[in-house]
Structure 1
Amino acid sequence: MEPIELDPGEYRGTYKLVGGRLCLDFVNTISWPGTEQEHDWLTPPENARRWFAAAGLPFPRSKDTDLQALYESRRMLTSVLAPLAHTGRPKNAAVADLSKAVAKAYEGRVIDPATLAWIWLPPHSATEALNPILLDAAELVTAGNHDRLRFCPSCHWLFDDQTRNGHRRWCDMADCGSRDKARRYYHRSKS
């Protein structure tokens, strides 16, 4: 997996699409959530544009991007998806918030007369750009295999374990897997 060219600012790291689903990769736009190392990959606004492009999603052309809508949606998605990844259940209020957002997101799709397939209308705001992500989250919550929804023990990113045997342990073997193995080797050799 190749890193996406996002401006890391002061942070020393890279961002990769490792979640296996749009909604998980969007939640993972915060590295090391809830720690001193926490880093938000959606700032500056140009990073948001680059992230959406890398994920294959359209983003509004306006220079004035409302990042607050992205942050709020990411918090909402995290409040639903993180408990599932930790084999728990999200709070009813969080699911209700997602349900409201998903109902609104459906308004952003139309049936293309030429192909008879769903297509997304071009987004005019960051909120509208989130529509495919919200519907992906709804699909994961309602019909996805929650047993395959995991969190990385190293960085806490979420991922859909799509391996054949269902034993994927880290978000990315090259980064977190190597770091975790090195840390365990160090502790074993010190004992």
Structure 2
Amino acid sequence: MKFAWTPHRFSGGTLAFDLANTVILRHDPARRLDRISGPEDLAGFAVAASLHCAEARQDMAYAPCPASALQPLLELRELIDRHFRSLAVSGESNFATFVAMADKAASILRQTGMTPQRIDGAVSLSALSLAMETMNSASKALRVKLCANCGWLIVDTSRNRSRIWCDMTVCGNREKSRRHYNRKTGSPEA
């Protein structure tokens, strides 16, 4: 199944979260959907991330990685999700998941031919950077959140840390519509 890599798919605020968020409805086995099932999907992600990711530089596009790099990157994706989802829920970094994520990122960065422009290298650097910031700063850790609607990982860059949704036009609008419907029909809030 082919997917459109729209700007909404890059709402995480960091490349590491955008990759983790490629698994849709992660905690609902019946509806779970992985947007990266092969190297061609990862190549599409790299192109779209160059255009839409918050960390993307206009003077440098992300390059796809070889097919052999797909599995290690997907393993890193799961470690990113596990580490930062735990942080968002508990407010505290788990050192064991941090070390596992750092080890996986380091092994990716040691691959022959690695560059910071290659998508797997860029994701590894993004994950390590954010992990180091949140490990050493309680205020930065508080900015790691989960979207209240879809559960995606997001970095809250709002001044007063009030971000609730990954994207106001998608998840925020759905929630506002749900509340409006419940008010009009007299249904209890879910």
Question: TM-score range, shorter-chain basis?
Answer: 0.7 to 0.9
Residues 44 and 15 from structure 1, CA distance in 2 versus in 1: closer, same or farther, beyond 3 angstroms? Answer: farther
Determine the C-alpha separation between the residues in 1 that align with 2:103 and 2:38: 28
Q: Answer yes or no: is 1:100 the counterpart of 2:95.
A: no
Quote the residue 2:124 is aligned against. Answer: 134
- Partner residue in 2 for 1:58: 63
- Deviation of 1:121 (Å): 6.2
Does 2:165 correspond to 1:160?
A: no
Shift of 1:122: 6.9
> CA RMSD, aligned part only?
3.0
| Alignment-derived partner of residue 78 in structure 1 | 81
Superposition misfits of 4+ residues, deviation over 6 angstroms: none
CA contact (8 A) 2:91 2:142 kept: no
Gaps of 5+ in 2: 51-61, 135-139
Q: Which runs of 5+ in 1 are unaligned?
A: 1-5, 111-118, 124-128
Change (3 A) 1:30 1:15: farther
- Is residue 17 from structure 1 mapped to residue 10 from structure 2 by the alignment? yes
Q: How many angstroms does 1:151 deviate by? A: 0.7
1:109-128 CA deviation, whole Å, 9 max, x = no partner?
Answer: 99xxxxxxxx92675xxxxx
In structure 1, how many angstroms separate the alpha carbons of the residues matched to 2:148 and 2:104? 30
Candidates 27, 32, 46, aligned match of 1:34: 27
The CA distance in 2 between the partners of 1:164 and 1:44, in whole Å, is: 38
User: Quick check: which one's helix share is greater?
Assistant: 2
Cα deviation 1:39-93 (Å, max 9, x = unaligned): 1111243221010122232113x5x455432321111111111111223435443
Query: Aligned partners of 2:70, 2:109: CA distance in 1, in Å?
Result: 21
Q: Distance in 2 between matches of 1:14 and 1:103?
A: 29
Normalised by the size of structure 2, how large is the TM-score? 0.75
Cα separation, partners in 2 of 1:14 and 1:47, compared to 1, 3 Å: farther
TM-score (normalizing by structure 1): 0.74
The number of residues matched between the two structures is: 168
Distance 1:21 1:137, change over 3 A: same
Q: Deviations over 1:6-30 (max 9, x none)?
A: 9239xxx996211110111010011
CA contact (8 A) 2:88 2:145 kept: yes
